[in-house]
Chain A
Amino acid sequence: MSIFNRLRGSFRRDRSDADLNAEIQSHVEMRERDNQNAGLPSREAREQAQKQFGSAAVIKEETRDADLVGWFDSVVKDLRYAARMLRRNPGFTAVAVLTLALGIGANTAMFTLLDQILLRSLPVKNPQALVALRMRGRHYGSNWGANAISYPMYRDFQDHNEVFSGMFARFAREVSLTYEGKSELTNAELVSGTYFDILGVSTILGRPITPNEDRTPDGEPYIVLAYDFWRQRFAADPNIVGKSLIINNQKLTVIGVAQPGFDGIELGRSTKLFVPLMMEKLILVDTDTPPKLQDRRTRWVNAFGRLKPGVSQQQAKVSLQPFMHSMLEMEVKEAAFSNASPYDREQFLKCWIDVLPGSQGRSNFRESLSTPLWVLMAATGVVLLISCANIANLLLARASGRQKEIAMRLAIGASRRRIIRQLLIETLSLSALGAIAGLIFAAWVVKALIAIYLPNNNGALSISSAPDLRILGFTLAVTILTGVFFGLVPALQTTRVDIGRTLKDQGGAVVGGGHAGMRKSLVVAQVALSFLLVLGAGLFLRTLNNLSSMSPGFPVSHLVGFELDPSLAGYSSDRAKSFYLQLTENLSAIPGVQSVGLATMRILEGDEWDSGMTVDGFTAAKAGQNPEPYMNEIGPNYFATLGIPIVAGRDFTMQDNREVRHSPRPDSWTPTAVMINETFAKKYLPGQNPIGHHVGFGIDPGTHTDMEIIGVVKDIRYTGLRDEIPEQAFIPYLGSRGVGSMVVYLRTASDPDKLTSTIREKVRELDPNLPVFGMRTMETQISNSLSSERMIASLSSVFGMFATILAAIGLYGVMAYTVSRRTREIGIRMALGAERGRVMWMVMRDVLLLIAVGVAIGVPASLGLTRYVKSQLYGVQPHDLATLLIAIVALATVASISGLIPAMRASRLDPMAALRHE
């Protein structure tokens, strides 16, 4: 009977202690009366009645065993019994607990990562009501990353909507922070005055940024510090409010410290300081006209809204469109569109606004980690299943030894249900012990995983390895499932015994032939599941191998890069140019440095900068097919430093430093020279010599094409190793109007790691206040860019190996058991002349059959599942035959070896000894 029946029974019938007492009482009284009627004196009548009834306590206990209170009582008894049983078999207990600790620990660790990266909401008031706005469709102007809209549009939405109780906007950027003479690069967040209020985040010191700080452009010099940053960088200074910090060379005043646990709304980028959006020019070192706070052509802020109660995401989306369109209609009439083609206007007017869930804030890398984490979560789940099967197998083996004990208990009146419960409590105790060890193991694993696989994290992603209630809840659920899963089958099997036969069987070894069948099924399941993991590991390893053997298009060794941003220290563009020229000279003088090259974009880091272009001599066959190359702004010797051959024309020189100015607006000025890659040339100037052709930025009719193509370079990769090589164009930074942050590459003769301190020193000599950041070799950079592939490949390999070993152990266990059961039969066969080879084959045939069945189930099941990881594969199909065969051979080999041991033992039996067996 289930616990629910018991509950129902005990509540509905209210079989209380008092009720049972009353029944016993009435029974005793009735007998007492009969005794009296039979002539016994009253005292004797009562004594005898009571004596005859026996111990009321015992009956009560027996009777109430089925009730809830009694149920708990007896559970405690069962627990004690379980503890005794586990202590009596320390070897078994240790193996089982260790296996479970690994299984449960790995699951807990994986869930910790999954939860904190993918599932968790922002630590703010009612995060479910937060939504993010996203412009969809073709933009006209510049666009800064995903989910961006222009600031004027944000203000318009804020003033004209019916669906939000409030909106806020934010933009993240690194700033240079100088405090007590030390400069460092720090994560800052530009926030609107509504940010803290709408998120429901308060301050523990001072006050937050409020709508009062939304008023004066450049005139709101205030800072709110993140709690952790305040503790680490300012030693939790209680008098911090009112103090001044130097941000990008300007004094800002600290007005508050945010509440603990809140560090902005972007996962993987923990904000240290919050600054009013009005300070945009200072924080972004913005020299654009018109400034971004007024410009509708620059989409940059991320806008969020808090839905009014009762308003759904869909309703909000529908409600925002009409106003959105009236804004677009107005924008398209502005001067900025005067040169736009009808096609571009048409496309622009098709833009619409999307409303996305905002409860998790925003993250650039959540999406990229989503599939790997789910895949690994599933893999750890499978490993746990295999562990469970193994322990179930051990329990079944041990059950043979306990058959007698259980038959005895059944014979003296214990119900089967009661014994199953007792056995389940034993297995649940096992899994609970495993879970406790697993939690400790998990905390350590999480730390290790972050250290190994998120090395360029720099503490930006605050993942806590300490289990919280969610993690503990998950572990508890896993523990109970595990205990029931591996305990139930053996418990059901063990209690299905023929009492008489078992008790009479003096040998006590041969009972429950069904166990062998059950154990074989478990082994088959293990083989099938292991196959899934081994195949997955194979596919991921080949993906990693394919990607690592891929060349970005230039030699990666002896190449190091670092970043600088003099604009944050107040350098003008001209001053920055002369600084970079001097720096290039000084760095080139370091012994061992062969070449120095500068660029604004660090390639192979997933970033991109693209721009529409007009090419003289190329007309798009259809509107919308204009060149849109990925751009980079570089210095002379950039290609020489990276080792990229120039296939035609020449490199930039110091003389490529002029600008063409058709209008007074600096953002329309362009350099006079441009270089392109082979793909660009092939695509837009096929069959021609591209040198001497002219190109210009923009795709509007009548675009000036002032930039002359002076050189063509070999194709190299741009965003990452697994992305196609895009068309690319390069312009000289010396001919550019806004020189700021740059990545400096150095090609060295020896190990570049040994030069980093000299490099830092050279920068310090020029300006001690410029923070050097992002110093890493190209090899490290590429290996970092493969970190999620490496994580998935190495972890799935570990899981695959672990699973195979477990399956092999399971197989060994079953075969050893089978051989010992068949000892006598084997002896007879040998006595009748069977050769040793034949006996061995007899056992191995079983082994191979088990493996074959397991693989036969595993192959189609795996092929059904691997297509879900297709997006994680590179250069290998989910149904790749070679990988499939290797996985089969690998698994079959390991499993066969484990089956070979009992087979050899069987073939070496001494027939005479075997015949006397049992």
Chain B
Amino acid sequence: MGKTKNDILQGTLVLLVLRTLSREPMHGYGITLRIQQVSNEILRVEEGSLYPALHRMEQDGWVHAEWRATENNRRARYYSLTKKGRWQLAAEEKHWARLTLGVSHVLENA
């Protein structure tokens, strides 16, 4: 078990994407870079998980997507958070806080 796990934990991807988008609209590639960078290279987002997740979030009405020009004048699909998405983010953050609190209690006291 020497291998370091840097996969995104099941279920947390949505939280990370929502949080990332809460700052500013971004395209999919930007999201992977941002998460990798902000997490100090600990977390890596698989494209194979990201795009299905984005699509599902779009269908659920949490994010809105539109084609825009990038700073380098390419075209990319930008995702931004909707009102519904902000609500979802708040809910997921709360859930995450409880979960980590529980885990840390166990690690400290068990």
Point out residues on A near B: beta carbons under 8 Å. Answer: 1, 5-6, 9, 13, 15, 22-24, 26-27, 29-31, 33, 52-55, 58-59, 62-66, 413, 415
Q: How far is the CB of A11 from chain B (nearest CB, A)?
A: 13
Does B56 contact A59, Cβ atoms closer than 8 Å?
no
Does A26 contact B27, Cβ atoms closer than 8 Å?
yes
Does B29 contact A52, Cβ atoms closer than 8 Å?
no
B28 proximity list for chain A (CB < 8 A): 23, 27
B76 proximity list for chain A (CB < 8 A): 23, 26-27, 30
Q: How far is the CB of B94 from chain A (nearest CB, A)?
A: 21
B51 on interface, CB distance cutoff 8 Å: yes
Q: How far is the CB of A67 from chain B (nearest CB, A)?
A: 9
16 additional contacts, CB 8 Å, given A22-B77, A66-B59?
A1-B59, A6-B59, A13-B58, A23-B28, A24-B51, A26-B27, A26-B74, A29-B74, A30-B70, A31-B29, A53-B47, A54-B46, A59-B47, A59-B48, A63-B52, A415-B56
Does B51 contact A62, Cβ atoms closer than 8 Å?
yes
Interface pairs (22), CB distance under 8 Å: A1-B60, A9-B59, A13-B65, A15-B55, A22-B75, A23-B77, A26-B27, A26-B29, A26-B77, A27-B47, A30-B29, A30-B74, A31-B29, A33-B72, A54-B46, A54-B47, A59-B51, A59-B52, A62-B51, A63-B51, A66-B56, A415-B56
A31 proximity list for chain B (CB < 8 A): 29
Whether A26 touches B51, Cβ cut-off 8 Å, given contacts A1-B60, A54-B46, A66-B56, is no
Whether A27 touches B27, Cβ cut-off 8 Å, given contacts A59-B52, A66-B56, is yes
Q: How far is the CB of A10 from chain B (nearest CB, A)?
A: 9
Does A5 contact B47, Cβ atoms closer than 8 Å?
no
In the complex, what residue of chain A is closest to B52 when comparing beta carbons?
Answer: A62
Q: Which of A1, A27, A65, A415 contacts B29 (CB 8 A)?
A: A27
In the complex, what residue of chain A is closest to B44 when comparing beta carbons?
Answer: A52
Task: Tell me the complex Cα distance, A52–B47, Å.
Answer: 8
Task: Tell me the complex Cα distance, A22–B68, Å.
Answer: 12
Task: Tell me the complex Cα distance, A15–B51, Å.
Answer: 13
A62 proximity list for chain B (CB < 8 A): 48, 51-52
A15 proximity list for chain B (CB < 8 A): 55
Q: How far is the CB of B49 from chain A (nearest CB, A)?
A: 9
Q: Which of A29, A54, A65 contacts B48 (CB 8 A)?
A: A54
Task: Tell me the complex Cα distance, A6–B60, Å.
Answer: 10
B70 proximity list for chain A (CB < 8 A): 30
Q: How far is the CB of B64 from chain A (nearest CB, A)?
A: 9
A58 proximity list for chain B (CB < 8 A): 48
Task: Tell me the complex Cα distance, A6–B56, Å.
Answer: 11
A63 proximity list for chain B (CB < 8 A): 51-52, 55
Task: Tell me the complex Cα distance, A66–B76, Å.
Answer: 21
Task: Tell me the complex Cα distance, A413–B48, Å.
Answer: 13
Does B75 contact A26, Cβ atoms closer than 8 Å?
yes
In the complex, what residue of chain B is closest to A64 when comparing beta carbons?
Answer: B55
Task: Tell me the complex Cα distance, A13–B59, Å.
Answer: 10
4 nearest A-B pairs in the assembled complex, by CB-CB distance: A62-B52, A63-B55, A30-B29, A54-B48
B65 proximity list for chain A (CB < 8 A): 13
A13 proximity list for chain B (CB < 8 A): 58, 65
Task: Tell me the complex Cα distance, A22–B51, Å.
Answer: 13
Scoring B residues 71 to 109 as 1 if CB is less than 8 Å from chain A, else 0, what string do you get? Answer: 010111100000000000000000000000000000000
Task: Tell me the complex Cα distance, A297–B29, Å.
Answer: 95
B56 proximity list for chain A (CB < 8 A): 66, 415
Task: Tell me the complex Cα distance, A33–B76, Å.
Answer: 14
A6 proximity list for chain B (CB < 8 A): 59
Task: Tell me the complex Cα distance, A891–B10, Å.
Answer: 53
Task: Tell me the complex Cα distance, A169–B27, Å.
Answer: 79
A22 proximity list for chain B (CB < 8 A): 67, 75, 77
Does A55 contact B48, Cβ atoms closer than 8 Å?
yes
A65 proximity list for chain B (CB < 8 A): 52
Query: Which of A1, A23, A52, A64 is most buried by chain B, counting CB atoms within 10 A of its CB?
Result: A23
Q: How far is the CB of B73 from chain A (nearest CB, A)?
A: 12
Task: Tell me the complex Cα distance, A64–B58, Å.
Answer: 12
Query: Which of B29, B58, B72 is most buried by chain A, counting CB atoms within 10 A of its CB?
Result: B29
Q: Which of B55, B74, B77 contacts A66 (CB 8 A)?
A: B55
Task: Tell me the complex Cα distance, A54–B59, Å.
Answer: 23
B48 proximity list for chain A (CB < 8 A): 54-55, 58-59, 62
Task: Tell me the complex Cα distance, A835–B107, Å.
Answer: 51
B72 proximity list for chain A (CB < 8 A): 33
Scoring B residues 29 to 58 as 1 if CB is less than 8 Å from chain A, else 0, what string do you get? Answer: 100000000000000001110011001101
A27 proximity list for chain B (CB < 8 A): 27-29, 47, 76
Task: Tell me the complex Cα distance, A15–B55, Å.
Answer: 10
Q: How far is the CB of B52 from chain A (nearest CB, A)?
A: 4
Q: How far is the CB of A48 from chain B (nearest CB, A)?
A: 13
